[in-house]
Structure 1
């Protein structure tokens, strides 16, 4: 641990202790985790055909149902998603916190089914989906909920005679991500969005004809403080933690969603749960 990291961790721990030992504890435990932030982003590119102008994609991630996030809260989220009238919904992993300990309820499938999108619903595995012997269970629930799995593969989405590509890789930590297989038989000239649970995977994405990567996993740090930022993020979410990054000579945009639920500790501070709404815009003349 270098000096900078040591000082950050020490100061962060001190601030966390002071804050949580006061009124901040109640806020971070009982209030902020329910304050959903809707982040609206415009994605523009000359590779987007005018047929996709105002095409709306909604991303939600890291619900971690069962760890202080209930089915009633998920139903509220579904209602808010449907109010956006999305063309596509993408879920970027970690549905349930501990699949092998979760009391699976048919209401979960019903709620996920209720989410509506004009051009389909897609999802990828997160590390918690593969963990705890949950791979097959989560797959079954998502399939019954009409979410299409992207596990080292892609789909072509067509509108007005034009096409964009939505691709997804397997989880980095517990799966076997393979970008070559994912993009096999795709047209490199088409606008391409990649779903990858872990944001730091973007450093492999650089070498491929991908325009946008959508990720989760980091929870934005969950607990953040002014001047020092996040106190902790998991492996493969250490460099790219929250928000938008422009990379690879502006050829690639990475968006890191702060997630819906919590994990490890049931707190959020200066890091509200987040729903992303992306609107595509053409730069074609």
Structure 2
């Protein structure tokens, strides 16, 4: 009897080990070959107190963290550009990390980004991978321009409604790993009202709230890139840990920050329970 119990126990352990091993193998194959290619669109309503009524329903396509050269090629962006154009957003914004410390496919990437269209324009900022290693931020800024994007590097523009006397401010900060100039970007503004900020690192929202920003759009965190049930993201980068994913309220303020999970990957070319996402943000009066 004891011998039979021992055999059953060993058989159960073998089956358990096989099941765990199979699950780990499946998760690894999914993370490397499948999930990082499952591009997903997310629609989010963003209620804002100080938004001009004329912009109620204004739609912004937000994407981030392409990381060309790290498991993603310029040609892989074709599906993204097609889907964004099909959505017909009013404006398109990209919140940094165009490359992954390399410049090999910058020309081809520029051609892909040039396909994007929006009546209120396309805007972009730099990310930390755009300003370090082999990346050349000046060339990336020029690539933005060649693709029809307006690079906002410690700059702001006034976005005016085409059919009404209404406007809002769109500002973009240089990356935190380079030369962010808060005063030049946000200080001494003559106009009041809605301010939307493009800042690659989401946790800088705690500083942005001091400059009258209503909504910050960011990337950088990748949503953790690998997520586990009940645990969430396993690894977040510096300045991407407090507001790592989705639409969140900034601490001790009425400001909102939206953090994109991004399109590409970094460190390891894998995603698990965290597919690449791009977003349609619909601005609403609160």
Query: Do Structure 1 and Structure 2 share a fold, with TM-score over 0.5?
Result: yes
The answer to whether the 8 Å contact 1:19/1:25 transfers is no
How many residue pairs match? The answer is 264
2:150 equivalent to 1:148:
yes
Partner of 1:259: 262
Q: Deviations over 1:132-187 (max 9, x none)?
A: 241122112111111111111101000011001111111112x1212221024434
Partner of 2:38: 35
The answer to whether the 8 Å contact 2:45/2:284 transfers is yes
Q: In structure 1, how many angstroms separate the alpha carbons of the residues matched to 2:212 and 2:174?
A: 18
The answer to whether the 8 Å contact 2:106/2:143 transfers is no
SS in 1 for 2:66: coil
The answer to whether the 8 Å contact 1:214/1:256 transfers is yes
Deviation at 1:72, TM superposition (A): 2.2
TM-score by length of 1: 0.88
SS in 2 for 1:22: helix
Deviation at 1:250, TM superposition (A): 4.9
Q: Deviations over 1:41-60 (max 9, x none)?
A: 11222421221121111111
Partner of 1:4: none
Q: In structure 2, how many angstroms separate the alpha carbons of the residues matched to 1:233 and 1:107?
A: 30
List alignment gaps of at least 5 residues for structure 1: 1-16
Q: In structure 2, how many angstroms separate the alpha carbons of the residues matched to 1:240 and 1:142?
A: 27
Change (3 A) 1:240 1:46: closer
2:89 equivalent to 1:80:
no
Task: Map 1:122-271 onto structure 2 (within 5 A).
Answer: 122-131=123-132, 132-159=134-161, 160-173=164-177, 175-187=178-190, 189-271=192-274
SS in 2 for 1:170: coil
Q: In structure 2, how many angstroms separate the alpha carbons of the residues matched to 1:105 and 1:280?
A: 32
Deviation at 1:194, TM superposition (A): 0.6
Q: Higher Cα Rg: structure 1 or 2?
A: 2
Q: In structure 2, which of residues 89, 94, 98 is the aligned counterpart of residue 95 of structure 1?
A: 98
The answer to whether the 8 Å contact 2:160/2:167 transfers is yes
Partner of 1:55: 58
The answer to whether the 8 Å contact 1:38/1:276 transfers is yes
Deviation at 1:62, TM superposition (A): 0.3
TM-score by length of 2: 0.87
Change (3 A) 1:168 1:19: farther
Q: In structure 1, how many angstroms separate the alpha carbons of the residues matched to 2:261 and 2:118?
A: 22
Alpha-carbon RMSD across the aligned residues, in angstroms, is 1.8
Q: In structure 2, how many angstroms separate the alpha carbons of the residues matched to 1:278 and 1:221?
A: 21
Change (3 A) 1:20 1:232: farther
Deviation at 1:103, TM superposition (A): 2.1
Q: In structure 2, how many angstroms separate the alpha carbons of the residues matched to 1:36 and 1:79?
A: 12
Deviation at 1:199, TM superposition (A): 0.8
Q: In structure 2, how many angstroms separate the alpha carbons of the residues matched to 1:168 and 1:26?
A: 38
Q: In structure 2, how many angstroms separate the alpha carbons of the residues matched to 1:233 and 1:19?
A: 27
Q: In structure 1, how many angstroms separate the alpha carbons of the residues matched to 2:189 and 2:157?
A: 9
The answer to whether the 8 Å contact 2:202/2:259 transfers is yes
Q: In structure 1, how many angstroms separate the alpha carbons of the residues matched to 2:243 and 2:49?
A: 26
Q: In structure 2, how many angstroms separate the alpha carbons of the residues matched to 1:168 and 1:19?
A: 46
Change (3 A) 1:248 1:235: closer
Q: In structure 1, how many angstroms separate the alpha carbons of the residues matched to 2:201 and 2:131?
A: 14
Partner of 1:70: 73
